[in-house]
Homo-oligomer: A and B are copies of this chain.
Amino acid sequence: MTRTTPAETPLGDSFHVFDTTLRDGAQREGITYSLADKLAVARLLDELGVGFIEGGWPGALPTDTEFFARAAAGDLQLRHAALVAFGATRRPGAKADQDPQVRALLDSAAPVVTLVAKSDVRHIERALRTDAAEAAAMVRDTVAFLVGEGRRVFLDAEHFFDGFAHDPDCALRVLTAGVEAGADVAVLCDTNGGQLPLRLADTVGEVIARTGFRVGIHCQDDTGCAVANSVAAVQAGATHVQCTANGYGERAGNADLFAVVGNLVTKLGMPVIPAHCVPELSRVSHALAEIANLAPDTHQAYVGASAFAHKAGLHASAIKVDPLLYNHIDPEVVGNDMRVLVTEMAGRASLELKGRELGIDLAGQPAALTSAVRRVKELESRGWSFEAADASLELLLRRELASAEGVPAELATVETPPFALESYRVILDHRADGVVVSEATVKVHVGDARAIATAEGNGPVHALDAALREALRPHLPWLDEVALTDYKVRILTDRPGTDAVTRVLVESTDREREWTTVGVHGNIVEASWLALCDALVHKAFRASHPVGS
């Protein structure tokens, strides 16, 4: 992958939507992306049509190093975005081509590199313990070396706004060193997030006027103004905007990608992502929250489940007459819905759209679609969520199609489940000698046979999975191809008037594809069981109905 510019986006390279969820977003307390998470996040961001995906800091963090290795090996095919590695300039007094940190950037094989550099003289002196001349030289040498090696380079000028206010000459000297050495964009970073929009826009305008450089913007949300600051910077002439999904980031977070893109597209008329991607904003936002294992913010601008939900009795009747009088945009533009939704999936139109994506044509089957919408809503009210569990949703839609009236036989394809549970028992022992043992016994019916098996595992779910496989293996030869690759648990406690329930997501692979299933129950083991079963049923269905057949 050697692309250095956005592809198939309306503004091409003239405007950059630069996502740093995987690097700066991962600084948020509570986020720890696995390698599989990182690949999934990058794919979703690419589906949204962002121009650049900053994947991490190779050489500094092992998962990030491996992420770039997997990308270089062809495991990450991006349609729109160019892949970016983040790193620091050479150390004071060192040589760029001999600095292991800088070499790690080259070794990552990322076609684009963002280099962070200090531009505030106080940071240069107190944290870096050097002077402005050496700080500029560090930038110049490192940019020149990477550009010489064929990389496209952006320069992140850390603490730029404070630095510029305190000592504009030093701040501009660092920028100039980078741009003269070949950096394409001088990114002005409000690293401690203390800016307000009017002044920030003035500074951006002044920097552009004084230097003529291509300027980018990177905002943190410590004044609650990161989105506004980013948009104001664009209005002042910045043509590269750095954001994170849902504003994830250190402290109060970063500028939220979805609000920034929503504002640029719908308020300023700038087609910064492909037109067909704009209605994906809500779906991708929620899916990225699931991967981060964080509850989506229901009140998030543009994409929150409540962003277009109206409670006010005052407005209720007028809304019916003319919804656009009370909504700042048509919610469907960003894939959201005006009704109060548990998720964006519950809408009829989006379920039909999602079905098409899964290869199920619901357009001509209004009865099946109606009952599917009802079923999804009912399950979502009990804590289910299908946003990240396509395989479970596909099974649900196929079951609805199979049971609805008047559906042609070729559409009503649903696999008879390959097995049926009679009972299971799991025993966990923390013995007096300190050893912890998990043992599960499963009784299932498969075809005409009854199978019983017992197995041990690291924990209750592992033991249950092992016992189930043990029982089914003689009857279902394809079972050994299927492996669990990820397992996520979310305890849902914020549902007033109900007991906490557990939602489990299981990701499976058969080495050809990956699929995700969901289970919800008050008991974590039963929730896991439901997701495990769906995973195997989905495999059985695909084994007998290959995609494209």
Residues of A within 8 A of B (CB): 27-30, 32, 34-36, 61-63, 122-123, 126-127, 159, 191-194, 196-198, 201, 221-225, 227-229, 231-232, 235, 247, 250-253, 256, 259, 262-263, 267-268, 293, 295, 298-302, 304, 306-312, 318, 321-322, 325-329, 340-341, 345, 385, 387-388, 421-432, 436, 438, 443, 458-461, 485-494, 496, 499-500, 502, 521-526, 529
A306 with B523: CB separation less than 8 A: no
A241 to B521, CA, bound (A): 41
In the complex, chain B residues whose CB is within 8 Å of the CB of A193:
301, 328
A494 to B529, CA, bound (A): 22
B263 with A196: CB separation less than 8 A: yes
B192 with A326: CB separation less than 8 A: yes
Name the distance in Å between A66's Cβ and chain B's nearest Cβ: 8
B496 with A486: CB separation less than 8 A: no
- Contacts A250-B311, A422-B432, A424-B428 known; list 14 others, CB within 8 Å: A62-B496, A127-B318, A196-B228, A222-B307, A223-B227, A223-B228, A223-B328, A224-B228, A225-B231, A251-B307, A426-B426, A428-B523, A428-B526, A486-B493
In the complex, chain B residues whose CB is within 8 Å of the CB of A311:
27-29, 250
Name the distance in Å between A471's Cβ and chain B's nearest Cβ: 14
A298 to B235, CA, bound (A): 31
A224 with B263: CB separation less than 8 A: yes
Q: Which residue of B lies closest to A461 (CB)?
A: B524
A304 with B252: CB separation less than 8 A: yes
Known: A436-B523, A460-B525. A34 touches B493 (CB 8 A): yes
A298 with B223: CB separation less than 8 A: no
In the complex, chain B residues whose CB is within 8 Å of the CB of A522:
458-459
A193 to B259, CA, bound (A): 13
B29 with A306: CB separation less than 8 A: yes
Oligomer: number of copies: 2
A425 to B502, CA, bound (A): 21
Known: A222-B301, A227-B225, A231-B196. A29 touches B523 (CB 8 A): no
A321 to B129, CA, bound (A): 12
Partner of A310, one of B250, B300, B322, B492: B250
A494 with B28: CB separation less than 8 A: no
A459 with B502: CB separation less than 8 A: yes
A310 to B196, CA, bound (A): 22
A306 to B385, CA, bound (A): 28
A98 to B307, CA, bound (A): 38
Interface centre among A299, A318, A424 (most CB of B within 10 A): A299
B502 with A493: CB separation less than 8 A: no
In the complex, chain B residues whose CB is within 8 Å of the CB of A251:
299, 306-310
In the complex, chain B residues whose CB is within 8 Å of the CB of A496:
30, 62, 293
Q: Which residue of B lies closest to A306 (CB)?
A: B29
Name the distance in Å between A167's Cβ and chain B's nearest Cβ: 14
A325 to B162, CA, bound (A): 10
Partner of A252, one of B30, B293, B301, B325: B301
B235 with A198: CB separation less than 8 A: yes
A496 to B492, CA, bound (A): 29
In the complex, chain B residues whose CB is within 8 Å of the CB of A499:
458
Partner of A295, one of B306, B307, B494: B494
A493 to B508, CA, bound (A): 13
A299 to B300, CA, bound (A): 13
Q: Can you report 25 residue pairs joining A to B where beta carbons are below 8 Å apart?
A: A29-B387, A36-B494, A61-B345, A126-B325, A194-B267, A196-B228, A197-B197, A221-B301, A222-B302, A223-B259, A223-B262, A223-B267, A223-B301, A224-B302, A252-B306, A423-B431, A423-B432, A425-B427, A426-B427, A436-B525, A458-B522, A459-B521, A459-B525, A485-B493, A486-B491
